[in-house]
Amino acid sequence: MISPFKSMNNIVQERDVCIMLWKDEYELGVPLIDAQHKELFKRVESFLQALRSATSWDEKIPEINKTLDFMKRYVVEHFHDEEEYQKSINYPGYKCHKQIHDDMVNYVLDVSKQYEKCNTNEPLMQQFGGRLLAWLINHVAAEDQLIAAYAKKKGVSGNDR
């Protein structure tokens, strides 16, 4: 049984959120994971909007800080849930997928540390935003779809769980 982050899950379901970055084709058919992905996309989108807004850097800092705090906590929680799901269906790509997750967690933590040292580092955050955007889209549109394809092939689709 994968651990439910019901509070996070409900946030997405309760609000009728329009997430520009999200596309229905990203859905895996695993309700918990799909809800977490939508939450992740929603937060990244808010982050990017703040990061790219025409306001001064000082005005952007509160949203930047909020997103970094969220990412440090939520990315770890979500990756853990996704990995538990992979184990539960004996997904053969588990080890490789976990390595990709671990690398991203390390990157987020490393950027956070650098940012905390000098929180006026706008170039660092712009670089982080660009990489995060491309990484997230590829990961959900490509890597995670392999899990869904495997589950479907094995007849263990997410809706059964």
Partner 1 sequence: MIDNLYKTFIDATRNVFNLMLHLSEISDHPGEDFKSDEGVDIAVSIVGDLEGEVIYRFPVSTSLNMVKIMSGMEFEAVDDFVTSAISEIANIISGNVLTELSASDLKCDRLPPVQRKPGEDPNKDKEYELKTSCHINTSIGEIGLEIRLNRI
Residue 20 as a binder of partner 1 (CB under 8 A): the answer is: yes
Residue 137 as a binder of partner 1 (CB under 8 A): the answer is: yes
d(CA 33, CA 161): 11
Select the span of 10-18, 61-69, 108-116, 132-140 touching partner 1 (CB under 8 A): 132-140
149 to each of 100, 110, 115, how far by Cα in Å?
18, 33, 38
Do residues 122 and 114 lie in contact, with contact meaning Cβ atoms separated by under 8 Å?
A: no
Select the span of 9-17, 35-43, 49-57, 79-87 touching partner 1 (CB under 8 A): 49-57
CB of residue 96 vs partner 1: minimum separation in angstroms? 9
Site of tokens 């309760």 = 14
Site of tokens 């918990």 = 32
Nearer to partner 1 among residue 88 and residue 138 (C-beta): 138
DSSP 19: -
Residue 130 as a binder of partner 1 (CB under 8 A): the answer is: yes
Q: Which of 11, 17, 76, 133 binds partner 1 (CB under 8 A)?
A: 133
